[in-house]
Structure 1
Amino acid sequence: MTDILIDGLPATPDDLAHQALVNYGAYTSFRVENGAVRGLDLHLARLDQAAVELFGESPGEAEFRRLLALAVEGRDKAWIRVSLFSPEIGHRNPSFVGRPKVMTVVSPPPPPLAAQMRVTAVPHGRETPHLKHVATFGQTRVRRAARAEGFDDALFVDDQGHVSEGVTWNIGFIQGDRIVWPQAPMLPGVTQVLIERGLIQTGLGGESRPIHLDQIAAFDGAFLCNSATPACPINSIDTVAFSEDPVWLDRLRDAWLSQPPQPI
């Protein structure tokens, strides 16, 4: 069952029609367990930043928490998407500045993206990559093309051949006892940050640096992560194959699990 609220009230047909017709806004999504969320502080900061940048004003942390609590009330487990939009903004009149509306969509938790992935590198970059915005046409088009070619998904590279991010995930590379994250214009994923926070507790190190596509064969392994998928091995990027190490995957998941859920 999916429930949709807008500013804590049942969604109206007009609000939903605007969402369908005007592709301007931002969102974040995550799993809720017993009224708590892993990385909630990061999700709230993401919403606050996007609200100010896209609309000029944020509802604020207290209001976000109130609306989240309303949305998940009575549920032990749920998946929630929190979206920001304004019915005052349209294609002909985009100039409104003010507080956006907050739409919460609650549904059952989804399964992880996959147990393993074969991906292809594609020249592509999301518009305004530091924001998790609702303009996802390009990502869907690239994923469709990758699957039509027999791959599971696509990895973005810039016009200089530097790795950035996946369609809806971040990528990390394994080198010895370290995780190496690409340094490029992209969305800093919440799960990526949670893993980074927990690395020291699992005896691992981490760093970010530019990674050219020509350099990926030198790594010991690769994985992807997002809010639905704490760690999934990438078996190959085009013709470059990686070995899957269950011990490494356990250590990555342990790093993620070391960051406790935060109460709404």
Structure 2
Amino acid sequence: MTAFVVHRNGRAATAEELAPLAFSGYAHFTALQVRGGRVRGLDLHLERLRSASEVLFGRAVPDARVRSWLRAALEAGPADLSLTATVYSPAGEFTASGADAEPEVLIRTGPPSSGPDGPLALATVEYERVLPAVKHVGEVAKTYFLRQAVSRGFDDAAFVDRRGRLTEGTIWNLAFWDGTAVVWPEGAMLAGTTMGIVRRQLDRLGVPQRTKEVTPADLPALAGAVVMNSWTPGVAVRRIGTVSVPEAPSFVELLHRAYQAEALTSP
């Protein structure tokens, strides 16, 4: 099969079902890459959907049901693809009614992606996301700051919180290298699934990791920086704001090696 799909609760979505969602922003999602009909970090994606649903809706779709709907979408498409699973309430947004409605799941597939080649230059923007631990939709600021960064000659943007700490990118997690250990920035942010995969595999490889506050002033003392998301476990960053950062190819290779050590599984 070579078709990409849009499924609602495990079957092809109709225009009538999709129309109310066109402007809906009260939802959350997870994005993943499928290779050979299998995925990495399935447990992390399912946990993300469960926990975010509990926050937004007070209930979650059972894992077994989500997995069956993922399988239906994968069986309809090619072996390699990108997939986004969005959980929303049929009650919509801007209303307090319908809070007891069962969440529904929209699954969309498309061509596979591996992200940009890099190295990237990131503008710094003072910004903190609402509900940072939830991968929610309707975040106009992300696209706005991305486009503003590009208009200024950067490739993307990194966020700095009110305490001056680097936290995350527009659609990325940040990771740094101090020459001996992987440094994860401390602050309120989304814990990415790729980040989770890399962290547990680095543990298995015996690679030192630590979490600490990282500010723009700390960058000159670091030996490398990357961004990562569902596309890739690491794209080199060459500059953050006005500060140049070494590209550290061995650091990027280490993150990719850790990611590749995670087994591919079927939903």
Superposition TM-score tier, normalisation by shorter sequence: over 0.9
Which of 139, 143, 147 is equivalent to 1:144? 147
Distance (Å, rounded) in 1 between the aligned partners of 2:220 and 2:56? 39
Q: What's the counterpart of residue 40 of structure 1? A: 42
Q: Deviations over 1:75-109 (max 9, x none)?
A: 31111100011221232445522321100001111
Which of 90, 110, 114 is equivalent to 1:111? 114
| Aligned partners of 1:164 and 1:183 also within 8 Å | yes
Q: Per the alignment, in what secondary structure is the counterpart of residue 189 of structure 2?
A: coil
Distance (Å, rounded) in 2 between the aligned partners of 1:201 and 1:96? 42
CA gap of 1:94–1:173, structure 2 versus 1, over 3 A, is: farther
Letter in 2 for 1:52: E
Offset, 1:120: 1.1
| Aligned partners of 1:29 and 1:79 also within 8 Å | yes
Q: What's the counterpart of residue 229 of structure 2? A: 226
Offset, 1:58: 1.0
Q: Where does the alignment leave 5 or more consecutive residues of structure 1 unmatched?
A: none
Q: What's the counterpart of residue 9 of structure 1? A: 11
Q: Deviations over 1:182-221 (max 9, x none)?
A: 1100000111111111114444211111222221221111
Q: What's the counterpart of residue 122 of structure 1? A: 125
Distance (Å, rounded) in 2 between the aligned partners of 1:87 and 1:14? 13
Q: What's the counterpart of residue 193 of structure 1? A: 196
Which of 209, 212, 228 is equivalent to 1:209? 212
Offset, 1:21: 2.0
Query: What percent identity do the matched residue pairs reach?
Result: 31
| Aligned partners of 2:123 and 2:158 also within 8 Å | yes
| Aligned partners of 2:122 and 2:158 also within 8 Å | yes
Q: How many residues align?
A: 264
Moved more, 16-25 or 227-236: 16-25
| Aligned partners of 2:90 and 2:101 also within 8 Å | no
Letter in 1 for 2:22: A
Distance (Å, rounded) in 2 between the aligned partners of 1:164 and 1:56? 27
Does residue 73 of structure 2 align to residue 71 of structure 1?
yes
Indicate the RMSD between aligned Cα atoms, in angstroms: 1.5
Distance (Å, rounded) in 2 between the aligned partners of 1:174 and 1:246? 11
Which of 17, 20, 23 is equivalent to 1:18? 20
Offset, 1:43: 0.3
| Aligned partners of 2:219 and 2:245 also within 8 Å | no
Distance (Å, rounded) in 2 between the aligned partners of 1:85 and 1:42? 19
Which of 46, 54, 57 is equivalent to 2:56? 54
Distance (Å, rounded) in 2 between the aligned partners of 1:50 and 1:185? 15
| Aligned partners of 1:56 and 1:99 also within 8 Å | no
Q: Where does the alignment leave 5 or more consecutive residues of structure 2 unmatched?
A: none
Q: What's the counterpart of residue 177 of structure 1? A: 180
Q: What's the counterpart of residue 88 of structure 2? A: 85
CA gap of 1:180–1:100, structure 2 versus 1, over 3 A, is: same
| Aligned partners of 1:51 and 1:57 also within 8 Å | yes
Q: Per the alignment, in what secondary structure is the counterpart of residue 21 of structure 1?
A: coil
| Aligned partners of 2:87 and 2:106 also within 8 Å | yes
